[in-house]
Structure 1
Amino acid sequence: MWYLSLLAVSALALVQSFAFGLVLPSDEAQIRRSKRSVNAQTQQEIASVMKCNTTIVGPSDPGWANATERYMQNIRPQVQLSVRPSCEQDVARIVRYANRHNIAFYAVSRGHSLTTDAARFAGIEIDMRNLNRIRVNPNKRTAEFQGGVYGYEAINNLWDKGLVTATGTCSCVSLIGPALGGGHGLQQGKHGLTSDHIVNLNVVLADGSAIRVNEKTNPDLWWAFRGAGHNFGIVTSFESKVWPDNFKRYFVRTYQYLGNSHDAVFEAVNRFQGNGTLDPSWLASFGLYAMNTTLSTTEATLYWVFLYDGPKTDAAVAALKPFDQLHPLSIDDIDIPYTEINTPIGGALNSSLCEPNKSHIVGTANLQVYNVTAQRAIYDLYNQNIRQHPELGGTRVLVEGYAVRGVKSFKSEDSAYPLRDDNILTYFDVRFDTASDPLIPFAQKWRNQTVDLWNAGQPTRPPTTYVNYAAGYESLEGRYGVEAWRLKRLRQLKRKYDSKNRFAWYNPIVPV
């Protein structure tokens, strides 16, 4: 779930796309057209072509604030009309209507959107929240999910049937949204990314046609949707693999340390994770810098969480003995059901990570191993900045070390997801209550310094970014792959399936 400037990235992408013959409309022109077109008449006309019980909400309607609520207050698309279909067929009808009237459209499948690209949008929001059906197939090997299903809805629904599937670790995002960018999660050590286990996709393309996408039908889009799918269409539903779980409990151990243990903890974690060779019975190993003023008012607490695929009685607890010896301030053990699996890592539905209408300054970089010197510099910078501005004590610096054996079991060239050699995700987040806080420039500088330190700690590797964590200013190569053939293939498919760049509002491969 991070440095060229956004201007440089956009300019480079436009030059490259022109070289491949892809002519795109200007975003300002789309915005001007949509402002002239979206009005009360638009609302009536859309209602007349819908076949199901579709809800249409305009700026003067009572449900407007709810319909247009956003995670990122500082990055807000200019929604002029929100259309909430209750059947998949109406998604295609909305797209066809928008195309006929030159109105931009933007599908929202629930939850976070961190990228600055969303702020460029103006037009019709397609709100997928009513498309939330889940159906387990009779063989109990796959299940069908509509495009608006939350991650926590999938977890809870399947748990009742003794099943699990690949989801993200944040309960308030959709199931399909992260999957379109690959989809990291706690099942990946055994099974791979969320996108690796999709069997079929039902998709609405830029021209409003509804098609089926799988390994044999539209195989070129099948490749593209699994890693860069938000550039190519709206997934109204999909079928994905599920696995038996047998209602077991999951062991979670949490440590708290102060700075005198910092370096030794990261060295021990490097040995534990083994540069991508962690036994997948250990689902993940997460670290977090955060202020706990009951422990210290001058330095961040280092939290470390280990999650095991089974109860404590089955866990290889001896593997954690090195961490017991590093002078932790506390050690907490719990066994929990899978329905609560996101809580100890901060991704519960009621967590601060899921709270809407805040402003966030975010940054990220992917790693293979932790550079202990770089991590110490990041920790010292954190403490220095908090001493200068204690009001920023809610800042989170998170590192996510999932087991990756399942991810590496799939061939990198078989899907658009490009980063199977990256073992660790990082995430920097300063949260503000408003978009006009005077400390935002300070937070942006802090973000830049932190991301630079992560990347400087691996000087032989090009900077890479998990696209679902990307904020919009990272290089296209960092998001979609440093191999030249990857971007070339993605641009060729873009020219074929979306030559007008209708899907350009979430980390686009061809920025408008």
Structure 2
Amino acid sequence: MYATVSSCNDSFKSGREGLLRRGACEESLAQRLSDRANIYCPGSQEFKNSTQRWSTLEAPTFRATVEVATEGDVMEVVKYANEHELPFLAVNNAHGAITTVGQLQNGIMIWMRQLNSVKITEDGQMATFGGGVLDKAVTDALWAAGKQTVTGGCECVSVIGPGLGGGHGLLQARHGLVSDQFVSLNMVMADGSLKTIDHASDLWFAVRGAGHNFGIVTSITSKIYNVQFPNWAFRNFTFTGDKLEALYSNINEHFLKDDEQPVDLFHYSVILKNAAIDANNPIISFYILQEGVDIVEDAVVAPFLALGPVSTFSGSGDYPALPSWIGWGNNAATCQHSGLANTRFPIELQHYNITAQRSMYNLLSNTLNEIPALNRSVVLLEGYSQQGVKAFSSKESAYPFRGSNLLLAPVVRYIEEDEKLAKEGKDLGEALRDILHVGSGRVTKRTYVNYAFGTESFQEIYGDEFWRRKRLLALKKKYDPSGKFSFYAPIA
């Protein structure tokens, strides 16, 4: 038995002519794979479905999708690609929007979705996750066993992808980043061999923050925890733009006053167009999430109610419900592959510079009025508690920005029409980020690698300490000297 090959179109001819039309690589590769693997070729509906991405801008192109079913399949695809001098890229749910992946053309896509297992150890202290498993599957499987761990907030995103870049999550105040939970991981290397990476490996530093550059993770073993606070509550407020200064001043005062947000709170806001509320200017949707309560405490809510929101609503439930409350669930627009260019321009900050917030808002408002094609654009402002993140030394892993309290990201969205619109979108995103950067007072922009646009420097993504660059470059030279894994925020 060997892998199924999907034809390039429904009417391909059999025999040698059909084989050539499909491409000999698909047939010969199929014979090397397990019987549950699949190969999808251009022209088939499966290929079209598999290669759709969350962002269309500067997307990679592929000559085939290989849906792997085993760790051995991943190894064989990498070896095969090397033999035929083909580039390759591992993909989970295709939410990596960084434009550097567009440098991969006519390659092989390694689709990881069948590697989606969740296995809890007998002692209940750890779990092993398959390399293609998504956040919701992990949260639900662990929750059923009375367990949880740090994952990203979006249900539709993988655990592994964000984890390789550090990985912010709603439980990070208690336990640290997604990557801080790693105990070991299995990784297919540039030559197709398999390595188990743990604290004894020199790669342990690199895979937790710059891991996209070193291999394809087929599984990780992660720390897990007993559920301590099953209940959470949220409160949402909608504000018009004239309340911006008061809102973000309140957040600075009540959430970030001592440079440390309370461990049981998460705040999140989105600046976006909503013509039903204000036809000319963006509005601000602001959320407070609190752990261990059924109603967000009055003392937390009161300063924001006093500002006079346009509307407010609230709710409560258990931890797995959180993503659906704030628009990060599987059914939310955030998770759909809608044929948009979704470009992010992230920056990590300590607190809100109110003057910069106003300048950023005004630029966004004016530009969306001038260029209606960009009207889907938003600004995300994520405020995670950092106690668990700061408990780990920044020297222990490649993730460099453990002291940052805020993750802000202008997200410029549009339907690709022409190069002019793409340039206008990029210019807007960069300008919004530049305003926030100047307001931070820092020399270097702190850019979260998992949200990066693709034009950022090494220092902006991986930190400006000289020793970081030296160490990562040495590891890259040792483990991937030919740059097989240099399509996602490459180390250079």
Q: 2:212 aligned with 1:259, yes or no?
A: no
Q: Which residue of 2 aligns with 1:342?
A: 323
- Aligned counterparts of 2:232 and 2:485: Cα–Cα separation in 1: 40
Larger RCO: 1 or 2 (CA < 8 Å, sep 6+): 1
Does the 8 Å contact 2:116/2:129 carry over to 1? Answer: yes
From 151, 172, 178, give the equivalent of 2:135. 151
Are 1:451 and 2:433 matched, yes or no? Answer: yes
Aligned to 2:208: 226
Whole-Å separation in 1 of the counterparts to 2:59 and 2:273: 29
Residue 390 of structure 1: how far off its partner (Å): 4.2
Question: Do 1:252 and 1:308's aligned partners in 2 also have CA atoms closer than 8 Å?
Answer: yes
Tell me which amino acid in the other structure corresponds to 2:272.
A
1:247–1:458 CA distance, 2 compared to 1 (3 A):
closer
CA distance in 2, matches of 1:247, 1:45: 52
Q: Which one of 135, 139, 142 corresponds to residue 126 of structure 2?
A: 142
C-alpha distance in 2 between matches for 1:226 and 1:164: 20
Write the deviation string for residues 189-214 of structure 1: whole angstroms up to 9, x where unpaired: 11100000111101111011101111
- State the Cα distance separating 1:101 from its structure 2 match: 2.0
Q: Quick check: 317-326 or 227-236, which moved more?
A: 317-326
Query: SS at 1:333's partner residue?
Result: strand
CA distance in 2, matches of 1:100, 1:438: 40
Deviation at residue 45 of structure 1 after TM alignment: 1.4
Q: Which amino acid aligns with 1:355?
A: Q
TM-score (norm 1): 0.88
Show the counterpart of 1:90.
73
Q: CA deviation at 1:168?
A: 0.7
> In structure 1, what is the equivalent of residue 481 of structure 2?
499
Pick which of 346-355 and 499-508 moved more.
346-355
Task: Tell me if 1:73 matches 2:59.
Answer: no
Q: Deviations over 1:357-392 (max 9, x none)?
A: 221232121111110000011111222223324453
Aligned residue identity for 1:57: Y
Partner Cα distance (2:150, 2:411) in 1: 25
Q: Which amino acid aligns with 1:194?
A: V
Q: How does 1:233-248 map to 2 (within 5 A)?
A: 233-245=215-227, 248=230
Q: Is residue 2:327 matched to residue 1:325?
A: no
Q: Any conservation in 1 of the 2:344–2:412 contact (CA below 8 Å)?
A: yes
Structure 2 partner of 1:41: 24
Q: Is the 8 A contact 1:361 1:440 kept in 2?
A: no
Does structure 1 conserve the Cα–Cα contact (< 8 Å) formed by 2:287 and 2:326?
yes
For 1:24, the equivalent position in structure 2 comes to none
Structure-1 separation of matches of 2:64 and 2:420: 32
CA contact (8 A) 1:38 1:80 kept: no
- Amino acid in the other structure paired with 1:42: C
Partner in structure 1 of residue 460 of structure 2: 478
Whole-angstrom CA distance in 2 between matches of 1:390 and 1:208: 48
When the two structures are aligned, how many residues end up with a matched partner?
Answer: 470
Deviations 1:25-60 (A, max 9, x none): xxxxxxxxxxxx996211111111123421111113
2:55–2:343 Cα contact (<8 Å) kept: no
1:401–1:424 CA contact under 8 A, matched in 2: yes
Residue 125 of structure 2 corresponds to residue 125 of structure 1: no
2:381 partner letter: V
Is there any run of 5+ residues in structure 2 with no aligned partner, and where? Answer: 1-19
Give the percent of matched residue pairs that are identical in Structure 1 and Structure 2. 35
Residue 200 in 1 paired to residue 184 in 2?
yes
Return structure 1 stretches of 4+ with deviation > 6 angstroms.
none
SS in 2 for 1:143: strand
Following the alignment from structure 1 to structure 2, what is the Cα–Cα distance between the partners of residues 237 and 460? 37
User: How far apart, CA to CA, are the structure 2 residues paired with 1:94 and 1:179?
Assistant: 23
Q: Do the aligned partners of residues 38 and 423 (structure 1) sit closer, same or farther apart at CA in structure 2, a change above 3 Å counting?
A: farther
Q: Is the 8 A contact 1:186 1:402 kept in 2?
A: yes
> Does the 8 A contact of 2:398 with 2:462 survive in 1?
yes
Change over 3 Å in CA distance of 1:62–1:256 after alignment to 2: closer
What's 1:31 paired with? none
Q: What residue is the counterpart of 1:212 in the other structure?
A: 196
